[in-house]
């Protein structure tokens, strides 16, 4: 697995625009803009099919629904347990992903 870390939403968008990723692991709490907004931008402007797995400490149904409405494929609630992450990623054998 090759992981690229983005420090904020704009850097994540720059990576999406310039590289070929198999998956985005999107945090909700990003500097300057939410992960929900970046997820919307990825879907609308860059990539309609790239899997986006959202991570949030907010376990409220409304937050999960907002991520799904923005285009996320899966929502993982923090703290992330190894088993939860492995279950979410189990169908990938080898991949290149962006963590933002």
* Tens digit of each residue's pLDDT, the chain (100 residues): 788 999 999 999 999 988 888 889 999 999 889 999 999 999 999 888 889 999 999 888 999 999 999 999 989 888 988 887 777 777 665 566 666 6
pLDDT of residue 48: 84
Structural domain boundaries enclosing 95: 2-99
Which structure tokens are listed for 23? 């998956």
The structure's pTM equals: 0.84
Cβ contact 23:85 at 8 Å: no
CATH number at residue 6: 3.40.50.2300
Q: State how far the Cα of 63 lies from the Cα of 69, in Å rounded to an integer.
A: 10
Q: In sequence order, what are the beta bridge partners of 54?
A: 26, 75
Cα–Cα distance, 1 to 46 (Å, whole number): 23
In which region does residue 62 sit, left (phi positive, over 0), alpha (psi from -120 to 50) or beta (all else)? alpha
Number of domains making up the chain? 1
């Amino acid at each position: 697995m090759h992981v690229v870390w983005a420090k904020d939403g704009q850097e994540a968008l720059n990576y999406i625009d310039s590289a070929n990723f198999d998956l985005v692991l999107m945090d909700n709490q990003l500097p300057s803009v939410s992960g929900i907004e970046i997820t919307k931008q990825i879907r609308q402007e860059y990539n309609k099919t790239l899997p986006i797995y959202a991570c949030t400490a907010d376990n409220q149904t409304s937050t999960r629904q907002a991520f799904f409405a923005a285009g996320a494929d899966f929502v993982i609630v923090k703290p992330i347990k190894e088993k939860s992450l492995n279950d979410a990623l189990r169908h990938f054998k080898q991949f290149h992903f962006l963590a933002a």
